Every structure is written in structure tokens, then in C-alpha cells.
Amino acid sequence: MVGTRQVLVTSAVVITELKETSDISKQQQMIGLLDALPRLPYADEIDSIAQVYFSHKLMPLGSGGDAHHLALASIYRCDMLATWNCKHIANPNKTDHIRMVNSALGLHTPQLVTPFELLEAMP
């Protein structure tokens, strides 16, 4: 597609998770890398969508960040959601279930990838 441009974005949910990192120097370095990125606004419906994800067993209750990441990427129609979480998000065994729940909610489902997959796809 000619003229298509992809934009890397982040959210407050990512920043919150990084602030929980115990290594302060790495924490500051990681947050610093994200400072220049646009942040997706936290929409009111994120929490209710996360609750639907929990009720449909897409992820366990203790994985709130995961549910919020997916909800944000879905609401804002992101093309991809890059994550290191291969248990709850970038898990091929969960992809169809995620699509089914998002479809029932009228939401877009982003492509769920790991950073390694993104690097492999680069020319």
C-alpha cells in the first residue's frame, strides 16, 4: 500500500508497568525510550472491556495490565500489539478466542506479535 505509515505508540498502562520494575536505572532507561512516543489516551470503556476479557477467561484476574493493553490496542484499532507476554496475549492458542470475544464486542483485533517477530519482519 503506497503512502501507508506506521506509528509506534505507547500508553499509560505500559508506563505504569515499567514503574514497577525493581531496577531503577533500567526503569528510567526504559521509560526514557518511550518519552518521545505518542500515548494512547485511556478511554472510559477500557476497564469494562478488561472485565469482559476476564469473564471470558482470556486472561486471569491478576493480569490486569495484559487485559488493558489488549483493550487499548483494540479500541484504537492498532494494526499490531507488540508484547513479550506469550502466555496471555501473543499466544497462538488464544488468538481465535481473543478474536471471537473482540468480534462480539464490535472491536478490532490487532495482530499480536512479539518484538522478535517484528525484528524478523524488518528488511
Q: What is the mean pLDDT of each run of 10 residues along the chain (123 residues)?
A: 71 88 85 90 92 92 85 94 84 92 97 85 68
Residue 1 forms part of a structural domain: no
Residue 5 forms part of a structural domain: no
pLDDT value, residue 118 = 79
Residue 3 forms part of a structural domain: no
Cα 36-14-18 angle, rounded to 5 deg = 95
Environment class of 70 (CB within 10 Å of its CB; exposed 0-12, middle 13-18, buried 19+): buried
Residue 16 forms part of a structural domain: yes
Residue 94 forms part of a structural domain: yes
pLDDT value, residue 1 = 45
Residue 85 forms part of a structural domain: yes
What residue numbers bound the domain in which 70 lies? Answer: 10-121
Q: How many domains does the chain have?
A: 1
Percent of the chain with pLDDT over 70: 93
Mean pLDDT, the chain, whole residue set: 87
